[in-house]
Amino acid sequence: AQKVTQAQTEISVVEKEDVTLDCVYETRDTTYYLFWYKQPPSGELVFLIRRNSFDEQNEISGRYSWNFQKSTSSFNFTITASQVVDSAVYFCALSEANYGGSQGNLIFGKGTKLSVKP
């Protein structure tokens, strides 16, 4: 069965600290895609990254970096030198190429609420 687990419900850090948000996924497909979305207090969903299952290269974008490890079925997200504006709920999501009945739609984790205090 497809499933995305974000074990950390809430994390609180002080500005400038590094923080890692964990994401573990389950899928039967060999071809799948992983995503991170940010939901700030205003409520919209902001796309951050998409990764396909054949590309295990880590990615860095400014203060954001992602660590994809197929061996542990994890796709963790690290924010370096966190800022107050990073405060949001972050969702990890999975989409399967062979659908498993889901038509390729997104399967979301429950989200991790990150609070960055000044």
Partner 1 sequence: NAGVMQNPRHLVRRRGQEARLRCSPMKGHSHVYWYRQLPEEGLKFMVYLQKENIIDESGMPKERFSAEFPKEGPSILRIQQVVRGDSAAYFCASSLLPEPWVMNTEAFFGQGTRLTVV
27-52: b or e for each residue (b if 16 or more CB lie within 10 Å)? Answer: beeeebbbbbbbeeeeeeeeebbebe
Minimum CB separation of residue 43 from partner 1 in Å reads: 5
Please say which residue, 32 or 79, places its beta carbon nearer to partner 1. 32
Shortest Å distance, C-beta 15 to partner 1: 26
Question: Which residues form the interface with partner 1 (CB under 8 A)?
Answer: 4, 6, 33, 35, 37, 42-45, 47, 50, 52, 91, 93, 95-97, 101-111
Shorter beta-carbon distance to partner 1: residue 8 or 80: 8
Element (H, E) at 12: strand 10-14
Q: Residue 110 gets which letter from DSSP?
A: -
CB of 103 to partner 1, least distance (A): 5
The nearest distance, CB 72 to partner 1, in angstroms, is 21
- Tell me whether residue 13 or residue 45 sits nearer to partner 1 (CB atom): 45
